[in-house]
Amino acid sequence: MIPLRTTLSFFVDPLKYLVDLPTVLVDQAADSVSSYRTLKMENERLREDQLIHQTRLLKFEALEKENIRLRALLENSFKLGEQVLVAELLSVNMAPYEHIVVVNKGTRFGVHPQQPVLDANGVVGQVFRALPFTSEIMLITDPNHAIPVQVNRNGLLTIAVGSGQLNRLVLPFLPSNADIRPGDLLITSGLGGTFPQGYPVAVVDEFTSQPNKAFATITATPKALLDRNRELMIVWSKSTPVPLISKPTANEAETRTDAVK
């Protein structure tokens, strides 16, 4: 059925771009009439942001190296290096009761189903279906979506399920005495293999436990701006873990065997 859908999408996908066209035109018009002053101010602000982020990155690289070394001590593998592709949202509405959005990058750019999708603030969702020119992305708040998460404070593992509301996730599988409080950051745990480990997902905003029920009612607010962002990032994570101790070269191996002799 997938080849048939792909073939038919060649006829149908132009319509999605056509419907998106007014939004693009309005955006471009707004860009072209914004004054020199606003542009200059925005430019300055972005420059400052850039500087701050660059400085943070300096530290991040050192930390990453340290992390690899520490993991080497634990004899643990470490996944490194993720490649991203910026995709733009098309303003079309597929089905009102499902949280599925359409972006303008498809299999022609190498997008494939089950790839994680992020924005600048956190996890957005995963690629649900990839067509040649567009792909459909299921948001983490879709009622059919669940994402394995971990409490950043203490490493408690659980699963966050979509609620059908754009600003809410539900954590239905935690007992009433779980160590979790409002304000806790939930990050991806990397279990399940779809989402890479360590990206922010949501912030816990309510924890209520009833004495007569086994499980607590916990809700969280997604970090990503699910309804306001037009730019998303589709992520490729390297499937093979980076070896921690580099393999000895031929010369080194020889000298070692000599030393043993």
Partner 1 sequence: MQLNNYVGFFRIILTLIGAMCLRIAPWPGEMAAFNPDWVLLVLVYWSLALPDRVGIFHAWTFGLLTDVLTGRLLGQYALAYSLVIYICLKLHKRLRQFPFLQQGLFVFFCLLLSQLLLFFIKNLQHPAQLHASFWLPVFTGTLAWPLVYGVLSFIGLSQRIK
Q: Are 213 and 176 in contact (CB under 8 A)?
A: yes
Q: How far apart are CA 86 and CA 230, in angstroms?
A: 10
**Chain centroid, CA 124 distance in Å:** 5
Q: How far apart are CB 95 and partner 1 at their closest, in Å?
A: 6
Contact criterion met (CB below 8 Å) for 169 and 220: yes
Minimum Å distance from CB 126 to partner 1? 14
Q: How far is the CB of 201 from partner 1 (least distance, A)?
A: 23
Question: Could you tell me the two tokens for 195?
Answer: 């989402």
Task: Tell me whether residue 170 or residue 187 sits nearer to partner 1 (CB atom).
Answer: 170
Nearest distance in Å: CB 244, partner 1: 42
CB of 27 to partner 1, least distance (A): 14
By beta-carbon proximity to partner 1, the closer residue of 227 and 254 is 227
Q: How many CB atoms within 10 Å of residue 188?
A: 23
| Nearest residue (CB) to partner 1, 164 versus 172 | 164
Q: What are phi and psi of 55, to 5 degrees?
A: -65, -40
Of the two residues 8 and 29, which places its CB atom closer to partner 1 in the complex?
A: 8
Nearer to partner 1, 20 or 184 (CB): 20
Largest CA distance in the chain: 78
| Tokens coding 244 | 């921690």
Binding site for partner 1 (CB under 8 A): 1, 4-5, 8-9, 11-12, 15-16, 18-19, 23, 91-97, 100, 128-129, 136, 164
**Cβ atoms of 157 and 195 closer than 8 Å:** no
In the complex with partner 1, the residue whose CB is nearer, 8 or 25, is 8
For residue 240, the number of C-alpha atoms closer than 13 Å in the C-beta half-sphere is: 3
- By beta-carbon proximity to partner 1, the closer residue of 180 and 232 is 232
Distance, CA of 167 to CA of 226 (rounded, Å): 8
Q: Work out the angle at residue 106's Cα, subtended by the Cα atoms of residues 102 and 112, and round it to the nearest 5 degrees.
A: 100
Minimum distance of partner 1 from residue 205's CB (angstroms):
21
* Shortest Cβ 128–partner 1 spacing (Å): 8
CA 113 to chain centroid: 14
